[in-house]
């Protein structure tokens, strides 16, 4: 999956758009199965519908984008028997994140996608090792018992370092450091939100699609909010197109 992701990022265009749509479709499929474990056929339909809508949004006029993104979430909400609010919220977030990734890659270039990925990875890696080595008070033990304040703060510091490195050639300046830290917080919020969803539905992993690593949502939960945040930040701060 890592190799496929790197190839898609480098290729851009329809290859990247299709990869993002497939990943988001898989997450909606996992979401449907977590909320209604016995609805395999319905989950597959929702996953395909969501992925197709996200892919279509890369090519339709901008005023059609929001209806396209919301349609699968609305259809899925009306089709499930429990967790309707959870389904609509997560399905909408997944769709928005998919469109955000496609927009950032298409409009800003590979540089900003790599920055986004590096911030999310740095947040996760620094948080994991700091939490293991330093330990200390738990961040939110009821929802995510393994997360500590030391790991959380370490993630902020690591993301700030990534932003500082990126600021040297991005043309945005030190504002990207501040945005990186806030994006790290949003990424952690996405991680916690997925942990709360799994606790609510009584599952350990979102699925078993990735042997030894759980599901797609388990690996991309932090990317969901971060991608939407980058899209909004790009509009607010006027991120320039990258050099790649």
The string of pLDDT tens digits covering residues 132-143 is 888 777 877 777
Q: What is the pLDDT of residue 131?
A: 84
pLDDT band per the 50, 70, 90 thresholds, residue 244: very low
Q: What is the pLDDT of residue 243?
A: 42
Q: Which domains does the chain have, with CATH numbers?
A: 1-107 (1.20.120), 109-244 (no CATH)
Q: What is the pLDDT of residue 71?
A: 93
Per-residue pLDDT tens over the stretch 15-73: 999 999 999 999 999 999 898 887 778 889 999 999 999 999 999 998 899 999 999 99
Distances from the Cα of 98 to the Cαs of 16, 53, 130, 153, in angstroms? 11, 10, 30, 27
Residue 78 tokens read as 């009306």
Q: What is the pLDDT of residue 238?
A: 64
Q: Is the dihedral of CA 181, 194, 118, 110 positive or negative?
A: negative
Cβ atoms of 222 and 191 within 8 Å: the answer is yes
Phi, psi of 147 (to 5 degrees): -85, 135
Per-residue pLDDT tens over the stretch 158-213: 999 999 998 887 667 788 898 899 999 999 998 888 888 888 888 888 887 877 77
Tell me: pLDDT of 232 over 70: yes
Cβ atoms of 166 and 180 within 8 Å: the answer is yes
What is the residue-wise DSSP string for the chain? -HHHHHHHHHH-HHHHHHHHHHHHHHHHHHHHHHH-TT-HHHHHHHHHHHHHHHHHTTTS-GGGHHHHHHHHHHHHHHH-SS-HHHHHHHHHHHHHHHHHHHHHHHHT-HHHHHHHHHHHHHHHHHHHHHHHHT--SEEETTTEEEEEHHHHHHHHHHHHHHHHHHHHHHSS-THHHHHHHHHHHHHHHHHHHHHHHHHHHT-SSS-SSBTTTB-HHHHHHHHHHHHHHHHHHHHHHTPPP---
Average pLDDT in the chain: 87
Q: What is the pLDDT of residue 60?
A: 92
Q: What is the pLDDT of residue 239?
A: 62
Residue 71 tokens read as 């349609």
Tell me: pLDDT of 95 over 60: yes
């Amino acid at each position: 999956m890592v190799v496929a992701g790197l190839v898609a990022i480098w290729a851009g265009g329809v290859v990247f758009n299709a990869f993002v749509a497939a990943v988001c479709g898989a997450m909606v499929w996992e979401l449907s199965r977590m909320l209604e474990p016995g609805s395999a056929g319905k989950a597959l339909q929702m996953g395909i519908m969501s992925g197709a809508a996200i892919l279509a949004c890369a090519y339709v006029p901008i005023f059609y984008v929001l209806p396209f993104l919301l349609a699968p979430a609305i259809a899925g909400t009306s089709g499930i028997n429990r967790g309707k609010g959870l389904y609509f919220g997560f399905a909408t977030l997944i769709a928005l994140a998919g469109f955000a990734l496609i927009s950032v890659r298409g409009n800003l270039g590979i540089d900003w996608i790599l920055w986004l990925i590096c911030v999310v990875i740095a947040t996760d890696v620094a948080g994991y090792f700091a939490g293991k080595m330093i330990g200390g008070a738990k961040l939110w033990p009821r929802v995510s018992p393994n997360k500590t304040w030391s790991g959380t703060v370490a993630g902020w510091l690591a993301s700030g370092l990534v932003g500082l490195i990126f600021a040297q050639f991005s043309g945005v300046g030190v504002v990207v450091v501040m945005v990186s830290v806030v994006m790290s917080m949003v990424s952690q919020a996405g991680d916690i939100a997925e942990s709360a969803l799994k606790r609510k539905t009584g599952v350990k992993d979102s699925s078993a699609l990735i042997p030894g690593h759980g599901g797609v949502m388990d690996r991309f939960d932090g990317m969901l909010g971060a991608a939407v945040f980058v899209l909004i930040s790009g509009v607010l701060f006027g991120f320039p197109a990258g050099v790649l």
